[in-house]
Amino acid sequence: MTITITAFERSPDGGKGLARDMRVRWALEEVGQPYDVRLLSFKAMKEPAHLALHPFGQIPTYEEGELALFESGAIVLHIAQRHGGLLPDEANGRARAIAWMFAALNTVEPPIFDRALAKILERDEPWYEQRLPVLEDRIRKRLGELSGRLGDADWLEGEFSAGDLLMVSVLLRLKGSALLDEYPNLSAYVARGEARPAYKRAFDAQLAVFAAASTG
Ligand code: GTB
C-alpha cells in the first residue's frame, strides 16, 4: 500500500532538515519503505482537506490505505511497530526503547524547542538577554542527564532504535551550538545518527524539495 506523508512546500529551515517530516522520512528509510510526499503551503495546511487529516493544521501527516495519522512520534511508533528494525523484539527492551521515544519528545525536546522559539520570536523583547541563559540552563540539565546515561554506549538501548531516531532528531536542533559541544558523547551520538545511510537518504530528499522550491 502506498504511504504518503506531508511536508512543507518550502521549509523555513532552508533545507536543514529540522522540520518534523524529517524524522518520519528517516524512519521510513530505516525500514526500507518507499513513500510519496505531498508538499503543502502554509495556506493549504489550514484548509479543510488537510485539517481532516491533522486537527492542528500542521505537518507531518501519514496516510496508508484507510489509516491517516498525525503527530510525528505516533507516526514513527507506527512505522516501528509495523516493520522490523526500529524496535527490539524482546518485550522489555522494546518497552524501554519506546520509553526513550517519549523521553525524546516529552522531556528533552520541550526545553530545546523553547530556546528555538525564544530566538525567533522573543529576540527583541527587553527581557530576552535574561531569559536566554535560563532556557539554556534547562537544556543543560537534560543534556547532562542524558549524557550521563548514554556514557560511552553507541545507542540508548542496545541496538539503534526508534528511541535513538527521535532523540538524535531532537538534539540535531542544537547542532553547531556550544551547548551540544559541552557534551562530547552527545555530539558523537548525533554524528553517529547523521552517518546512518537512512538518515542521509532522508536528509537529501528533504533538501531536494527545498532546492527545487528555491530554483522553481
Ligand atoms: N507535535 C507535532 C509533531 O510532532 O508532529 C508538531 C508538529 C509541528 O510542529 N509541525 C510544524 C508545522 O506544521 C512543522 S515542524 N508548523 C506550521 C504550523 O503550525 O502552522 C516544526 C518546525 C518548523 C520549522 C522549523 N524550522 O524552520 O527550523 C523547524 C521545526
Q: How far apart are CA 100 and CA 43, in angstroms?
A: 34
Each residue's pLDDT tens digit, 100-152: 999 999 999 999 999 999 999 999 999 999 999 999 999 999 999 999 999 99
What's the pLDDT at 216? 65
User: Looking at the structure, do residues 16 and 60 belong to the same domain, yes or no?
Assistant: yes
Pairing of strands 3-8, 61-64: antiparallel
For the record, the C-alpha cell of 30 comes out as: 530505516
User: Looking at the structure, do residues 62 and 131 belong to the same domain, yes or no?
Assistant: no
User: What's the first-to-final CA gap in the chain, in angstroms?
Assistant: 31
User: Looking at the structure, do residues 95 and 191 belong to the same domain, yes or no?
Assistant: yes
Which of 190, 32, 167, 150 shows the shortest CA–CA distance to 98? 167
User: Looking at the structure, do residues 191 and 203 belong to the same domain, yes or no?
Assistant: no
Q: Which residues are within 8 A (CB) of 198 and not within 5 positions of it... i.e. 6 or more apart?
A: 26, 29, 30
For ligand 1, mutation pick of 18, 20, 71, 171 (most atoms within 8 Å of CB): 20
Q: How far is CA 111 from the centre of its chain?
A: 14
Each residue's pLDDT tens digit, 29-82: 999 999 999 999 999 999 999 999 999 999 999 999 999 999 999 999 999 999
Domain that holds residue 95: 91-196
What's the pLDDT at 125? 95
CA 23 → CA 46, 110, 127, 172, distances in Å? 22, 16, 33, 11
Domain at 95, CATH number = 1.20.1050.10
Measuring from atom 21 of ligand 1, which residue has the nearest CA? 19
User: Looking at the structure, do residues 141 and 161 belong to the same domain, yes or no?
Assistant: yes
For the record, the C-alpha cell of 101 comes out as: 521515544
User: Looking at the structure, do residues 127 and 64 belong to the same domain, yes or no?
Assistant: no
Domain at 33, CATH number = 3.40.30.10
Q: Name the DSSP class of 173.
A: G
For the record, the C-alpha cell of 201 comes out as: 537518504
Number of structural domains (the chain) is 2
Judge contact between 55 and 70, C-beta under 8 A: yes
Judge contact between 7 and 21, C-beta under 8 A: yes
User: Looking at the structure, do residues 188 and 203 belong to the same domain, yes or no?
Assistant: no
User: Looking at the structure, do residues 104 and 158 belong to the same domain, yes or no?
Assistant: yes
User: Looking at the structure, do residues 65 and 99 belong to the same domain, yes or no?
Assistant: no
Q: How far apart are CA 93 and CA 50, in angstroms?
A: 36
Measuring from atom 26 of ligand 1, which residue has the nearest CA? 13
Q: Is-above-0.95 flag for pTM?
A: yes
Give residue 8 CA to ligand 1 midpoint distance, Å: 9
User: Looking at the structure, do residues 7 and 78 belong to the same domain, yes or no?
Assistant: yes
Average pLDDT over residues 9-28: 96
Q: Is the CB of 58 under 6 A from ligand 1?
A: yes
Give residue 131 CA to ligand 1 midpoint distance, Å: 23
Q: Name the DSSP class of 105.
A: I
Q: Is the CB of 12 under 6 A from ligand 1?
A: yes
Q: Is the CB of 45 under 6 A from ligand 1?
A: yes
User: Looking at the structure, do residues 62 and 100 belong to the same domain, yes or no?
Assistant: no
User: Looking at the structure, do residues 139 and 173 belong to the same domain, yes or no?
Assistant: yes
Measuring from atom 2 of ligand 1, which residue has the nearest CA? 71
Give residue 156 CA to ligand 1 midpoint distance, Å: 25
Give residue 196 CA to ligand 1 midpoint distance, Å: 24
Q: How far apart are CA 166 and CA 103, in angstroms?
A: 9
Measuring from atom 16 of ligand 1, which residue has the nearest CA? 58
Atom of ligand 1 nearest to the CA of 60: 5
